[in-house]
């Protein structure tokens, strides 16, 4: 991933393509080692684990940004108030 841009070769999420978008998005997130963060399987380390926590925070930020880029602008409404939390964004999109 260079800078804040990455590429993917499928349609962005819109109102009617969750079932085809989700597996593609999961594959993209897995490629960047971010899927475990997004799904909550990799949880935020304790504050006492500063280095691990910093790495997790970086992955969370990358995942949140990628998710925003992977959905149509009309879907951004789901991100309101949780823009910096990839786990909450994913959970909201799944609903």
pLDDT digit string, tens, across residues 73-83 = 999 988 999 99
pLDDT at 6: 75
Half-sphere exposure of 60 (CA within 13 A, CB side): 20
For residue 29, the surrounding DSSP H or E stretch is helix 18-31
Task: Express each pLDDT in 20-49 by its tens digit.
Answer: 999 999 999 999 999 999 999 999 999 999
Token reading at 82: 């949780």
């Amino acid at each position: 991933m260079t800078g804040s841009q990455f590429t993917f070769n499928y349609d962005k999420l819109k109102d009617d393509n969750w079932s085809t978008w989700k597996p593609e998005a999961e594959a993209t997130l897995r490629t960047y080692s971010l899927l475990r963060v997004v799904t909550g399987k990799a949880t935020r380390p304790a504050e006492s684990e500063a280095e691990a926590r910093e790495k997790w925070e970086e992955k969370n930020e990358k995942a949140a940004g990628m998710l925003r880029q992977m959905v149509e602008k009309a879907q951004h409404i789901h991100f309101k108030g949780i823009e910096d939390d990839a786990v909450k964004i994913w959970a909201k999109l799944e609903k």
